[in-house]
Amino acid sequence: MERKILVRIWVITVAILLAVVIYQFIIKRYVLEPLCFIGTNKCMKIEYQQYENSVLVHMIPSGYWVWFDGKDILVYGEPTGKVCKDEGYESTYVYDVSARKVIGYMCAKDLTQVKAFYERQKASKQYIFKKNVSDDFNVYDLINLLANEKIINIG
């Protein structure tokens, strides 16, 4: 009788130790951390909708929107200090992919029209969770990430 109790205690102990090892070295490292379920202080959730070689990206938690139309990178949500005269347009920063710098601002379709375009194309929302994001993660890092993930082609 005592032998059965010792075997049961031993089985329970081994099961607990095995569960801890599996959690620490497999589940935590390869599932929870890469998907930013734990250790979220250096995580970024990137929500995007893709259609052909264009993509509309919502950067969370920063809140700004990036639209790559296949040629230009337009950033919505950052104040430009400029006002567009035409209705249905808003001022956006324009980034040059090749020069990796802001080339100015332009009046582009407002964000609601861009979102409506992707909805009409039935482009579903998809997510990328980026772990270990540096404090200087910028639009070019985002575009390079999307290109590396084969979401867009910056040619």
Output the six-digit token pair for 108.
């582009």
pLDDT tens digits for range 92-120: 888 877 766 778 888 888 899 999 999 99
Output phi, psi for 84, to 5 deg: -85, 140
| Residue 66, pLDDT score | 92
Domain boundaries, given as residue ranges, for the chain: 1-32, 42-148
CA angle 70, 111, 153 (to 5 degrees): 15
Tell me the pTM: 0.73
At position 58, the amino acid (one-letter code) is: H
* Number of residues in the chain: 155
* β-bridge partners, 46: 59, 128
